[in-house]
Amino acid sequence: MEHFTKVTPGTQVSLQDHDPRFRDGLRKNDDVVRERREAALEEMRVLQERLYAEGRQSLLIVLQATDTGGKDGTIKHVMRGLNPSGVCVTGFKQPTAKELGHDFLWRVHKRTPERGMIAVFNRSHYEDVLVVRVRKLAPKRIWERRYEHINAFEELLTECDTRILKFFLHISKDEQKERLQRRIDDPARHWKFDEGDLYDRRHWDNYVEAYEEMLTRCSTGVAPWYIIPADRKWFRNLIVAEIVTAALREMDPQYPEPHFDPKEMTIP
């Protein structure tokens, strides 16, 4: 499953080579899709419980995608079985004046997961080499240096027992058009519509270039990028759930040894 999504460090990524509609021969209503998804979510639930109890390692999940790419939907569907006490979701919006008064990682570092926790980033420090680059919010000499800063930052987190998974949800320009149109047509979705999204859509090709550089330069051994075919929401959810579960399995969290002898203990 991993071979078609994980970006091997050092490879030059071209998004053209990745089909956003890929579904690995599966169909939405296949029993096997439901079974694989539910099995992954159930195992994720059990492993999270142990991660929380163990309190020694943490997991950081980064979600990046264009508008309508499915960041919110992924969080809603993939994290649904988890114990909310052990999860912290942060959405990164336009930085406030205070945040802009610091280096770009300041606001991000504050939201990284402490031991035992799973943190989910809906957008992240990568905005600082994406929207900032495309909208020219900072000069090239500033954002150009950030790839290295990001790799060093992620290495630091890893050294402190944070496992990092980064998902780029890859949708096609046609699919985005449909999803934006739904936000205009459906009153229940009006709140999600932002005219700024149309600006970003007009600069689609600049974003592709920025995404490709991010994926190429910041997929590292400790913090790989996964390119998720995301035109089909059910396939996106299945693959993300399976990758998160596989990572937790590898982290192999254990219940801590009891600090008392259960055989000696009687409740008065």
Shortest Å distance, C-beta 91 to Mg ion: 10
CA distance 186 to 242: 32
Amino acid at 53: A
Query: Does the footprint of Mg ion cover residue 184 (CB under 5 A)?
Result: no
Residue 127 in the binding site for ligand AMP (CB under 6 A): yes
Residue placing its CB nearer to ligand AMP in the complex, 7 or 131: 131
> 78: closest CA among 218, 248, 209?
248
Q: Which of 194, 249, 252, 256 binds Mg ion (CB under 5 A)?
A: 194
Question: Which partner in ligand AMP, Mg ion, none is near 93 (CB below 5 to 8 A by kind)?
Answer: ligand AMP
* C-alpha–C-alpha distance, residues 175 and 68, integer Å: 9
Q: Rounded to an integer, what distance in angstroms lies between the CA atom of residue 107 and that of residue 127? A: 12
Q: What character string, x for contact with Mg ion (CB under 5 A) and - otherwise, covers 33-72?
A: ----------------------------------x-----
Please give the full DSSP string across 192-231, using - where no structure is assigned: G--THHHHHHHTHHHHHHHHHHHHHHS--SSS-EEEEE-S
The answer to the question of residue 140 lying near ligand AMP (CB under 6 A) is no
Q: Tell the smallest beta-carbon distance from residue 66 to ligand AMP (Å).
A: 9
Q: Which is nearer to Mg ion, 82 or 132 (CB)?
A: 132
Nearer to ligand AMP, 4 or 147 (CB): 147
Identified binder of ligand AMP from the candidate list 11, 12, 94, 181, rule CB under 6 A: 94
Minimum Å gap between C-beta 73 and Mg ion is 13
Q: Which residues have CB under 8 Å from 87's CB, separation 6+?
A: 48, 79, 117, 118, 119, 120
Tokens of 186: 């459906």
